[in-house]
Amino acid sequence: MSASDLEELYRDILLDHYRNPRNRGKLPLASCAAHGANPLCGDQITIEVTVDGGRIADIAFDGNGCSISQASASMMTMYVKGRTVEEARDGVAAFQQMMVSGEALGEEYGDIEALVGVAKFPVRVKCASLAWKTLEQALNNEQDNQAAAAAARVPVTTDERSQ
Ligand code: ZN
């Protein structure tokens, strides 16, 4: 495949995700969520995640903005759905590495490699990275939620019992 063929294929994958976004919408039982914005371009993304047993059981995104930001969100949800939180965080790191190095990720990353060309345009890197950074924030919020839930389970103290 020539370089221009590959660029065309990547462009087609990107447009397909933009026009037919995967996992777009809201979750009835999200365990965490986060909102991210890229003021430079006007991109907005909200991500909801249902974490169950350390695994991303379900994920959805909503938002608006340029084709790169929305297509990247669609690709991200496809990649992380069903994976462990750990694997999802590794995915965030791998994506950021691709944006720095400009080298495509392996086949196991599926459609995500279609965004490799964005690495050449620093302004667009913010568009492509938005969904991944927002996912990371949602997973951090999940950790906080877990910590709060654990704290709430602490047995009541003698003082509280006497009231
Ligand atoms: Zn954008």
- The pLDDT score that the predictor gives to residue 157 is 61
d(CA 133, CA 93): 10
Determine the distance separating the centroid of ligand 1 and the alpha carbon of 159, expressed in angstroms. Answer: 54
Determine the distance separating the centroid of ligand 1 and the alpha carbon of 51, expressed in angstroms. Answer: 28
- The pLDDT score that the predictor gives to residue 140 is 96
Identity of the residue numbered 119: A
- Are 121 and 91 a contacting pair, CB within 8 Å? no
- The pLDDT score that the predictor gives to residue 98 is 97
Determine the distance separating the centroid of ligand 1 and the alpha carbon of 36, expressed in angstroms. Answer: 12
pLDDT one digit per residue (tens) for the chain, 163 residues: 788 888 899 999 999 999 999 999 999 989 999 999 999 999 999 999 999 999 999 999 999 999 999 999 999 999 999 999 999 999 999 999 999 999 999 888 999 999 999 999 999 999 999 999 999 999 999 989 888 888 888 776 656 555 4
List CB contacts of 133: < 8 A, sequence separation 6 or more: 36, 92
Determine the distance separating the centroid of ligand 1 and the alpha carbon of 90, expressed in angstroms. Answer: 23
Determine the distance separating the centroid of ligand 1 and the alpha carbon of 145, expressed in angstroms. Answer: 30
